[in-house]
Structure 1
Amino acid sequence: MPTTLKLKSVQSKSLQIPGAESWHVSAKDPAISVMTDFHWHSSVTVSENSTIDAAIDHMKHTGVRCAFVIDGKMSAVIGMITAYDISGEKPLQHMRLTGTPRADILVKDIMQKISDWHVANLEDIEKATVGDVLKVFTDTGVTHVPVMQTTGSNEQRLRGLLSFAKVKRLLVA
């Protein structure tokens, strides 16, 4: 016999904002608990031909500090850019070297190319703790770590992202 779905009225006058509940982790919790998993969440992307100001605006509107850079054809990830890249020394260095005004600096001018990434493997993240992730961030000084997964056909896929700011925000001392 098929189940019938019945709608009901809400008895409360207000509800908690979805996603606003407090959530914390400890250093002993599984590292996977602080990874943004692209199996469940969409990644934020910007075009390599976007200006850095447009990119930072897009990141602000989507609530992230890191975006993956896609090629001009919008078909593949070719790099990563962070709010720290845009607000730090990279634009100033590019301006000094090329004479380009800040408003004309493109994402591709200062992005972190895939060949420059330092990544973690999903298999290692599944065995690690939040404390292990925190140590990587404090030891290396990076702000974001892409997480890669090897498929059955030995292909590398971008599976997730670790964020130092997220770990610090969620970590209970």
Structure 2
Amino acid sequence: MIKRGIRILLVCDADDNIIGLLTSRDIAGDKPHRILAKAGGVREDLRVSDVMTLRPKLELLSMEDIQRARVGDLIATLRQVDRQHALVPDRDPETGKSAVRGIFSPSQISLRLGLNIDPSRQATLYADFENAGGTL
């Protein structure tokens, strides 16, 4: 992940169904330390399934909500649920199978809009942080 500059991976089962998400935060944060402190072992023994976020705990945003949302709304939602990523699921019109239409993250929003998104501040509306010089 570091070598490729990737911060998020979708974890799929043998049938390509998404069963979870693995982020750089899951790997480099305190989660591995908590797991090892509780269960014992060494870092090399950890598996993806030990540290990934399981599908039921993922933040999912509906396409309808995204179409009405403002940037500040998105950032506020991610902060409120303490997540670095939110998935936007959709259905493939041909197969009817569930698929991921998009993934949002504050770091990508920050990068694309040239903003400095401060994780300690509560998000406001786009107009509010635009007036504040682009810091959210």
- Same fold, TM-score > 0.5, yes or no: yes
Task: After TM superposition, list the pairs within 5 Å mapping 1:7-18 onto structure 2.
Answer: none
Which one scores higher on RCO, CA 8 angstroms, separation ≥ 6?
Answer: 1
TM-score (norm 2): 0.72
The superposition leaves residues 116-140 of structure 1 with CA deviations (integer Å, 9 ceiling, x where unpaired) of 1121012221222222212212333
CA distance in 2, matches of 1:98, 1:169: 38
TM-superposed CA distance for 1:74, in Å, is 6.3
For the pair 1:85 / 2:26, whether they are aligned, the reply is yes
| Residues matched between the structures, number | 114
CA distance in 2, matches of 1:99, 1:130: 42
For the pair 1:169 / 2:111, whether they are aligned, the reply is yes
For the pair 1:115 / 2:26, whether they are aligned, the reply is no
Task: After TM superposition, list the pairs within 5 Å mapping 1:127-166 onto structure 2.
Answer: 127-151=68-92, 156-166=98-108
Q: For 2:21, what is the secondary structure of its paired residue?
A: strand
Q: For 1:86, what is the secondary structure of its paired residue?
A: helix
Higher-Rg member (1/2): 1
Cross-structure match for 2:46 = 105
CA distance in 2, matches of 1:82, 1:108: 12
Can you give the 5+ residue segments of structure 2 that lack an aligned partner in the other structure? 116-133
RMSD: 2.1
CA distance in 1, matches of 2:66, 2:44: 39
The superposition leaves residues 49-78 of structure 1 with CA deviations (integer Å, 9 ceiling, x where unpaired) of xxxxxxxxxx2233221111123x363321
The superposition leaves residues 86-119 of structure 1 with CA deviations (integer Å, 9 ceiling, x where unpaired) of 1111101111122121011010011111011121
CA distance in 2, matches of 1:103, 1:118: 28
TM-superposed CA distance for 1:151, in Å, is 5.0
TM-superposed CA distance for 1:154, in Å, is 6.5
CA contact (8 A) 2:59 2:85 kept: no
TM-score (norm 1): 0.58
Cross-structure match for 1:10 = none
Cross-structure match for 1:20 = none
Q: Which amino acid aligns with 1:64?
A: I
Q: Kindly, what percent of the aligned residue pairs are identical?
A: 28
Q: For 2:3, what is the secondary structure of its paired residue?
A: helix
Equivalent of residue 124 in structure 1, options 41, 44, 65: 65
Pair 124,150 (structure 1): closer, same or farther in 2 beyond 3 Å? farther
